[in-house]
Chain A
């Protein structure tokens, strides 16, 4: 089975978000970049499927040179090789175009990625890729079993989940608990250094322009209510905050 796993290089979930250049650029200073947490689930499931059924796992990142440390970590976790499309992932459509272009050449059985990136949170790249390739796309997938050329999946829906069956090839946006996150071991880290990483140039155009960034207005002070007067809270929510 040939599996493609698309990963993002994103600020750590605890990173302080700020902007530079008149609020037109993300401020990378002091920020640690990690593999997108949802992408980590996708990669872990891909490596498990390879261990169970054989095949290969290729990691794909649409990103600039500084995302290579994230790619090397994915290789250390168990991917066989990697491709980096050398550009800023400008928007969903542009990013999906890069993935679909590569996938159209290589014919993967499964294209896995996180349900969304944690920087732009759109959650639409898997659907766009599926449409561009003319194959089904599903998200968020929380369980994935492969039986021959059939995939049995569980997808989360509002207030519950649904069981789904479909034939490969498929594009899936993944989330927990599809797999346990894997941590690279020393041998993995050593072999990752020599695994192939191909860099290709982007194609196509973006469909949106991000003009400016802004931070939310700071939160006012928290109004404390003594525990012995807890009932007062309900009156405040009704009369002051007007949310009841």
Chain B
């Protein structure tokens, strides 16, 4: 009966977005009068996994098969479906991500589950099981009822305000049944920017556009990001020009972010860019053009030269 939370492991620890999903799942479990069980797949130390208890989980199922080292979508979906069967779970919660979406989709197929993505709030159980989800790339919301006996909820960042309890969870090994067919897809290489902060997970983001005039000028963006502990991002033209990698492109056809703070430097704010950032809590816009449309979507604005303003902001952050 418990609520299962599908989590992702990065560098031996549960991802931050996954811990938010654990808290969400634990809150749902409380509403349903049951407990929250975490499913963790991959290599991680027991003490790291037991930290899920701090976010409300009572138990962690740890599947650590060597074949599960890379994020294999079909195999992970099978592991998730076996965990749901073992626990007799009706509800699965996960944080939206490229792997999470893919695994949740296949699991929904296996379980014949109602699946709803981009959920922005805890469910309303007063009549049926209803959630609020973000639609039209952040331009609207919908209230959706999940009719299926099994339900899968993929949450958006900041769907819930996490309160840590200080508890720890019991970690149990979990041995799923895996099919050879699950491993038909081979990952032959992984290219990952090593030191940078993950953009979709970041609480603070410093983003820049064509106003920076060229990739050689990005040091002032990175300096501010480093001083803040923020991730860096960019507009579509910047990624199209290959000034920055595609995985930094924020917007309608790029990454959608919902950080606490989004600082946009030298980005005019085309509607397609706004679609990727409109669920940020606080937006700061720095642009030399006072007519830049982005100011209409901003909380704070500075009309000025980014080459003057950004280094001064970096200095002010360091002085905090």
Contact = CB atoms under 8 A, between A and B. Distances in A.
A90 to B, nearest CB: 11
Contact of A137 (B105, B115, B134): B105
A244 B192 CA distance: 28
A139 B282 CA distance: 30
Contact of A157 (B71, B188, B298): B71
Interface residues of B, number: 92
Contact of A243 (B106, B246, B282): B282
A13 B272 contact: yes
Given A118-B252, A159-B247, A243 B141 contact: no
Interface of A: 11, 13-14, 17, 19, 37-38, 91-93, 96, 118-128, 130-132, 136-140, 142, 155-167, 175-177, 206-216, 219-220, 222-227, 230-231, 233-238, 241, 243-244
A158 B302 contact: no
Contacts of A122: 101, 115-118, 154
B267 interface: no
Given A158-B198, A216-B141, A139 B102 contact: yes
A205 to B, nearest CB: 9
A77 B113 CA distance: 36
A160 B305 CA distance: 31
Contacts of B188: 163-165
A244 B320 contact: yes
Given A128-B105, A166-B185, A227-B305, A160 B193 contact: yes
Contact of B139 (A96, A216, A230): A216
Given A137-B106, A230-B313, 17 more contacts: A13-B271, A19-B140, A121-B118, A121-B134, A124-B105, A127-B77, A127-B105, A137-B74, A137-B102, A159-B199, A162-B191, A163-B189, A219-B299, A222-B299, A231-B313, A231-B315, A243-B260
Contacts of A156: 98, 246-247
B93 interface: no
A114 to B, nearest CB: 9
25 contacts: A13-B252, A19-B140, A37-B252, A93-B113, A121-B117, A121-B135, A122-B118, A127-B101, A127-B105, A128-B106, A131-B77, A136-B185, A155-B98, A157-B99, A158-B199, A162-B191, A175-B253, A177-B246, A208-B147, A209-B145, A210-B142, A231-B315, A236-B300, A237-B261, A243-B204
A159 B193 contact: yes
Given A131-B110, A136-B73, A118 B105 contact: no
Contact of A227 (B186, B201, B284, B308): B308
A227 B260 CA distance: 23
B200 A224 contact: no
A230 B313 CA distance: 7
B50 interface: no
Contacts, number: 272
Indicate the member of B101, B112, B296, B312 with the most A CB atoms within 10 Å. Answer: B101
Interface string B108-144: 1110111111100000000000100011111111111
Given A37-B253, A243-B282, A234 B108 contact: no
Contacts of B137: 118, 121
Question: Which 8 interchain pairs have the tightest Cβ spacing?
Answer: A127-B105, A131-B109, A227-B304, A160-B192, A124-B105, A163-B189, A207-B114, A231-B316
Nearest to B113: A207
Given A223-B300, A243-B204, A159 B198 contact: yes
A211 B247 contact: no
B145 A211 contact: yes
Contacts of B145: 208-209, 211
A38 B137 CA distance: 13
Contact of B184 (A167, A231, A233): A167
B82 to A, nearest CB: 15
